[in-house]
């Protein structure tokens, strides 16, 4: 149990989240300590494929404002419906 918790804490404190886009649409993110490391991780996770290509020019460091626009808060969505 503690192993997973410590991994999560390490990711949150020591590494940064990088966003990237796919050429056909969609996006994803990876955790890395630098932009260069993020590029290496992305290339390992998503090798060149016909149906899923990563736009390597779209990789950017996630800031708190971006996170809210990409991943909406369910509480805010529910409050708008009322």
The model's pLDDT over 38-81, given as tens digits with 9 standing for 90+, comes to 999 999 999 887 778 999 999 999 887 766 666 655 565 555 55
Model confidence, pTM = 0.67
Alpha-carbon Rg for the chain, nearest whole angstrom, is: 15
pLDDT of residue 1: 44
Residue 31: pLDDT over 80: yes
Q: Report how far residue 75's alpha carbon sits from residue 57's, in angstroms, rounded to the nearest whole number.
A: 33
């Amino acid at each position: 149990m503690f192993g997973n918790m410590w991994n999560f804490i390490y990711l949150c404190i020591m590494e940064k989240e990088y966003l990237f886009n796919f050429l056909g649409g969609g996006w994803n993110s990876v955790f890395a300590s630098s932009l260069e490391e993020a590029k290496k991780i992305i290339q390992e996770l998503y090798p060149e494929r016909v149906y899923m290509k990563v736009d390597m020019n779209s990789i950017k460091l996630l800031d708190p404002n971006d996170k809210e626009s990409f991943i909406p808060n369910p509480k805010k969505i529910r409050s708008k419906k009322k």
